[in-house]
């Protein structure tokens, strides 16, 4: 059965509710304060919460707001109060509470409300990562502002950026509350009328245009022409510009032009480093909430280590590292050592340097001249004899460079390059 958290500062209420719910086959967790409720919420992941409004440390409405703001209101919450008002019940519902029970609570009313809450939890769609509440970095703040502005503009929008950005996270910001968001190139094989009906009034998102073949392009072109009458916003992502789409990926030139009526560059993950800790915590939270992994949390040091990494693989790499840490860390709190281990395991092994055959058993001056000769021979070869570039690479003034090369017995011309 379900795991239910009862939060109430009155011991009699806690014991009574625990006895009733336990008799129904539920596992009951008890908290006598908001502080204890926070701790239990982090460690146990309840399926439903019965939350008293009036408590000595923090009232239930404030705790409900905290959970809502931090993305932790992923379970149904039923408020309880012996001094409730209609205004309080309305406010709790607005914040995210499912229902309101007035004390003393009638047995049948309690059981009916709990059953409805658990059915509501089962029917709720899986939670997804969102950028809506993020924005510590200037680059992400600017991108969200531009997306909000573009959401008011008609026409198709092409998002541009590096591969593996999870551009869908940005595209979802364009769909209004409750509006449909249809994602995936797979929909291009469905009947166009079905696709447009599903996306009506919302967003049709096509990720990575470089993967579309000719048949998918024709389907997209057909949908694009009929999208306005269904109030569908077509948003796409491309890691390359429209010219490259056409020349290298055999994309239809007119379709590329129409998809790129409006264009926005998305920031790479390293450009929004300040938001990496929140993104990582959000990814880990979803894994734990879905019970895919044991209870986990990041230490401050671990979050700092993630923030200062360069993330060449962008969001996809961050997601893979968080998943690795969620399943492989030995303790509940993920430490900086765990992050270092996960990142080093993904690092590309450095090529073994080629050590030139160099005789060190000789006088210093002779060894130095041999090294300098080999050094400048390699520079001259790599720069095609360009004295300008050799001078720049070596950091020597041109006159000094000529004298050095002459002293080493290296004959070069005085060819000038633009």
d(C-alpha 7, C-alpha 342), whole Å:
38
Q: What is the pLDDT averaged over residues 171-185?
A: 88
Question: Residue 254's pLDDT is what?
Answer: 96
pLDDT at 418 over 60: no
pLDDT at 178 over 60: yes
Residues 78 and 110: their CA atoms lie apart, in Å, by 10
Distance separating alpha carbons of residues 332 and 328, to the nearest angstrom = 10
Answer for the pair 319, 350: CB distance below 8 angstroms, yes or no.
no
Is pLDDT of 86 > 80?
A: no
What sign does the dihedral 193-197-198-203 (CA atoms) show? positive
Pick the range with the lowest mean pLDDT from 7-11, 256-260, 283-287, 392-396: 392-396
Rounded Cα distance between 282 and 303, Å, is: 12
What tokens appear for 137 in the block? 């970095």
CA distance 203 to 172: 8
For 237-285, the pLDDT digits (tens) are 999 999 999 999 999 999 999 999 999 999 999 999 999 999 999 999 8
Fold observed for domain 3-123: Rossmann fold (3.40.50)
* Helix-then-strand count for the chain, H and E: 18, 12
> Which residue ranges does the chain devote to CATH 1.10.10?
364-407
CATH classification code of 364-407? 1.10.10
Written as six digits, the tokens of 347 are 């690092």
Backbone angles phi, psi at 6, to 5 degrees: -105, 120
CATH number (1.10.260.40, 3.40.50.970, 3.30.365.10, 1.10.8.60) of 273-346 reads: 1.10.8.60
- Report the C-alpha gap between 171 and 155 in whole angstroms: 14
What confidence tens digit (pLDDT) does each residue in 191-249 have? 888 999 999 999 999 999 999 999 999 999 999 999 999 999 999 999 999 999 999 99
* Tokens standing for residue 64: 């409900």
Tokens of 309: 């990494």
For residues 168 and 206, give the distance between their C-alpha atoms in angstroms, rounded to a whole number: 9
Q: How far is CA 344 from CA 59, 323, 347, in A?
A: 45, 15, 5
CB 262 within 8 A of CB 153: yes
Q: What is the DSSP string of 308-330?
A: TS--TTHHHHHHHHHHHHHHH-S
Cα–Cα distance, 84 to 105 (Å, whole number): 12
Question: Minimal CA–CA distance to 193: which of 230, 231, 156, 228?
Answer: 230
CA separation for the pair 82, 105 (Å, rounded):
9
pTM over cut 0.85: no
Distance between CA 166 and CA 172 in Å, rounded? 11
Please report the pLDDT score of residue 349 as a whole number. 60
Q: Which of 147, 138, 168, 140 is nearest to 267 (CA)?
A: 140
List, by residue range, all CATH 3.40.50.2300 domains of the chain. 3-123
Name the CATH superfamily, with its identifier, for domain 139-267: P-loop containing nucleotide triphosphate hydrolases (3.40.50.300)
Among 85-89, 231-235, 321-325, the minimum mean pLDDT is found in: 85-89
What percent of the chain has a predicted confidence (pLDDT) above 90? 61
Q: Which residue has the higher pLDDT, 70 or 296?
A: 296
Pick the range with the lowest mean pLDDT from 92-96, 187-191, 302-306, 344-348: 344-348
- For 213, the token pair is 């073949």
Q: What is the pLDDT of residue 69?
A: 78
110 closest CA partner among 29, 42, 21: 21
């Amino acid at each position: 059965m379900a795991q239910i958290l009862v939060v109430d500062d009155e011991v009699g209420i806690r014991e009574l509710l625990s006895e009733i719910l336990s008799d129904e086959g539920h596992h009951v967790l008890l908290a006598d304060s908001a502080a204890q409720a926070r701790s239990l919420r982090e460690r146990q992941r309840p399926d439903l919460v019965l939350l008293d409004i009036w408590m000595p440390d923090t009232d239930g409405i404030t705790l409900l707001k905290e959970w809502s703001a931090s993305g932790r209101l992923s379970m149904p919450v039923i408020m309880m109060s012996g001094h409730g008002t209609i205004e309080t019940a309305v406010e709790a519902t607005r914040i995210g509470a499912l229902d309101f029970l007035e004390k003393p609570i009638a047995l049948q009313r309690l059981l009916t409300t709990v059953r409805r809450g658990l059915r509501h939890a089962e029917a709720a769609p899986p939670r997804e990562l969102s950028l809506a509440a993020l924005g510590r970095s200037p680059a992400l703040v600017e991108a969200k502002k531009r997306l909000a502005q573009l959401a008011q503009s008609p026409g198709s929008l092409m998002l541009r950026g590096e591969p593996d950005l999870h551009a869908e996270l940005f595209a979802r910001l364009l769909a209004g509350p409750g509006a449909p968001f249809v994602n995936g190139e797979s929909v291009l094989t469905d009947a166009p009328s079905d696709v447009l009906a599903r996306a009506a009034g919302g967003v049709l998102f096509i990720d990575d245009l470089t993967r579309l073949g000719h048949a998918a392009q024709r389907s997209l072109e057909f949908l694009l022409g009929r999208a306005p009458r269904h109030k569908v916003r077509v948003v796409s992502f491309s890691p390359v510009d429209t010219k490259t789409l056409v020349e290298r990926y055999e994309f239809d030139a007119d379709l590329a032009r129409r998809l790129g009526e409006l264009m926005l560059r998305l920031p790479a993950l390293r450009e929004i480093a300040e938001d990496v800790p929140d993104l990582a915590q959000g990814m880990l939270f979803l894994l734990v909430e879905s019970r895919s992994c044991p209870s986990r949390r990041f230490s401050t040091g671990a979050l700092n280590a993630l923030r200062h990494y360069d993330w060449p693989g962008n969001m996809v790499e961050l997601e893979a590292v968080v998943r690795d840490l969620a399943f492989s860390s030995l303790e509940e709190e993920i430490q900086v050592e765990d992050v270092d281990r996960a990142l080093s395991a993904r690092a590309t092994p450095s090529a073994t340097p080629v050590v030139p055959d160099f005789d060190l058993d000789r006088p210093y001056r002779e060894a130095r001249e041999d090294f300098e000769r080999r050094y400048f021979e390699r520079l001259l070869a790599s720069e095609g004899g360009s004295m300008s570039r050799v001078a720049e690479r070596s950091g020597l003034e041109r006159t000094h460079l000529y004298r050095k090369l002459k002293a080493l017995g290296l004959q070069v011309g005085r060819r000038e390059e633009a």
